[in-house]
A and B are shown apart, each in its own frame.
Chain A
Amino acid sequence: MSAVSAWPAGRARLLRAVGLVGLVGMGFTVWLGLWVTPPDKVQGNLVRLVYLHPPVAWVALYLAFGTAALSSVLWLWPRTRSRFWDRLAVSAMEVGVVFTALTLVTGTLWGRPTWGVWWAWDARLTSTALLLVLQLGYLALRRVPSDADVRARRAAVAALVAAVDVPIVHFSVDWWHTLHQGATVLNANLSPTIHGAMAWTLLLGFVSMTLVFVWMLAERYRVELLNDRQSEAGLASAMAERWAESGGRAPEVVGERPGERAAAPAGVGS
């Protein structure tokens, strides 16, 4: 562990606990899903993917992407603008990409034996695939070197545009299918009837996946926070260098709120 820590020890412990509980819960879910719960009448053993795919999809689409989009809006709104939202947005988006990709993989795995094809152009898979591309675009945008504030602006707008786009894509693909009646066999919801032990396992799956996501999000956020602290430190040394150009000593505190004055520096004539 490095000497630099982003936040107090108590919070770090709590997060570790969250992550642990989440992973243990996942383990339980897998065990229950694979061995304890009964196979489905229609889908047989394939139904066991229901304990994985919907939770992953829920996290990817609503938790991760939803958090990223909401944070972006809160960052863009002048009254609530704060670096916190920007960091949260990028963390949520990055973690979300992983979950989105997993959603596609599990969805494909489930669909292949059921539908006979690797890919079906149904509304959910298609809009998830598009979401993945949009998220990758967001991350690519963030990688372009630029001023932190400018980068945050661009990314926030991109996230907002994507958030508005995904439901529209979903609707259009949906209507596309209602027109082409021949494709109804692929419309099958993949949702088997859930009851008894299956329902509890599914709930466990959802909860554990959520906990795992929260833990990953917090960890990623911590990295982002440390990055930010490092650039701020860089700014302080850049200020010192700049002052040295003119033979002065930079003030110790650089305030960030309007109206706050830096301490009077030495060596400035008037």
Chain B
Amino acid sequence: MAPVVCFRAAVATIGRFPALAGADLELEDGEVAVLEGPNGAGKTSLLRACAGLLPVAAGEAEVCGIDVRRHPRQVRRHVGLLGHNPALYDDLTVAENLRFALRAAGASVSAAGEVLERLGLGGRLASTPALRLSAGQRRRVALAVVVARRPALWLLDEPHAGLDAAGRELLGELLAEALAQGASALIASHEPEQAVPLADRVLAMGGGRVLESRPGLRKAPPPVTGVIHVA
């Protein structure tokens, strides 16, 4: 099985600063890895590089079998990034933002209502302009977009920050559901108590590189792959 993410000695610069200075990463299908490290270690940069948003200048970088260096735009269809700044248009309502994101991804809009309900954004909240939402609610809308798009690779940048306890539980559930359907996930987190139980592996980052790896605490059945033919 080809790994979902394969980075070897990847270097990515922002201006003259090497955000990634030779990062190595291999993520298998259905695996969850947590990135931990101090501020400035390169966790966000690694996630953005996986999403094809940060150009990789040197080394090898493949996501879902696509060379990120050559075809960054193609990669984006397969990933869902939950970043620091939720990509919301302030003047549009929650529902309109979600519908736009869905239509843009070519997905059907019918599931939008369901997803909003699931994330506690239904009812009156759905028709509130994004401007008036709290930071936690904005995060939930961004999460709704990721969930509704059903990507093969989830890239979560400090997902627990800004979410209340109910939100964090919900995140765990949604992630588990997605994983059961064959997705993989890469999570950057400053809160190991929250993140490590979700992870198969924990990767420590520093200075733009992945320094070491240790096993996580996730107990989950391996995803079912392949089709079972019954004669």
Contacts and interface: CB of A to CB of B under 8 A. Distances in A.
B58 A250 contact: no
A243 B58 CA distance: 16
Contacts of A189: none
Interface residues of A, number: 29
A27 interface: no
Interface string A141-173: 000001101000000000000000000000000
Interface stretch (A30-38, A85-93, A251-259): A251-259
Interface in B1-32: 8-9, 11, 13-18, 21-22, 24
B206 interface: yes
B207 A243 contact: yes
Contacts of B60: 258-259, 261
Contact of A269 (B13, B14, B21, B211): B211
Interface string B200-231: 00000011110111000000000000000000
B5 to A, nearest CB: 16
A235 interface: yes
A268 to B, nearest CB: 7
A251 B22 contact: yes
Interface in A70-95: none
Prevailing SS type, chain A contact patch: loop
Given A242-B21, A258-B60, A261-B59, A234 B211 contact: no
A270 interface: yes
Given A147-B14, A239-B21, A262 B212 contact: no
A235 B13 CA distance: 9
B18 A238 contact: yes
B69 interface: yes
Given A242-B207, A248-B207, A270-B212, A255 B58 contact: yes
Contacts of B70: 258
Contacts of A251: 9, 22
Given A147-B15, A254-B58, A260-B58, A268 B213 contact: no
A191 interface: no
A265 interface: yes
Contacts of B15: 146-147
A184 interface: no
Contacts of A244: 207
A243 B22 CA distance: 9
Interface of A: 146-147, 149, 231, 234-235, 238-239, 242-248, 250-251, 254-256, 258-262, 265, 268-270
24 contacts: A146-B15, A147-B14, A231-B16, A234-B16, A235-B13, A235-B16, A238-B16, A238-B17, A238-B18, A239-B21, A243-B208, A243-B209, A245-B40, A245-B206, A246-B206, A246-B208, A251-B9, A251-B22, A255-B59, A256-B57, A258-B67, A258-B69, A265-B22, A268-B209
The 4 closest A-B pairs by CB, nearest first: A246-B207, A245-B207, A246-B206, A242-B21
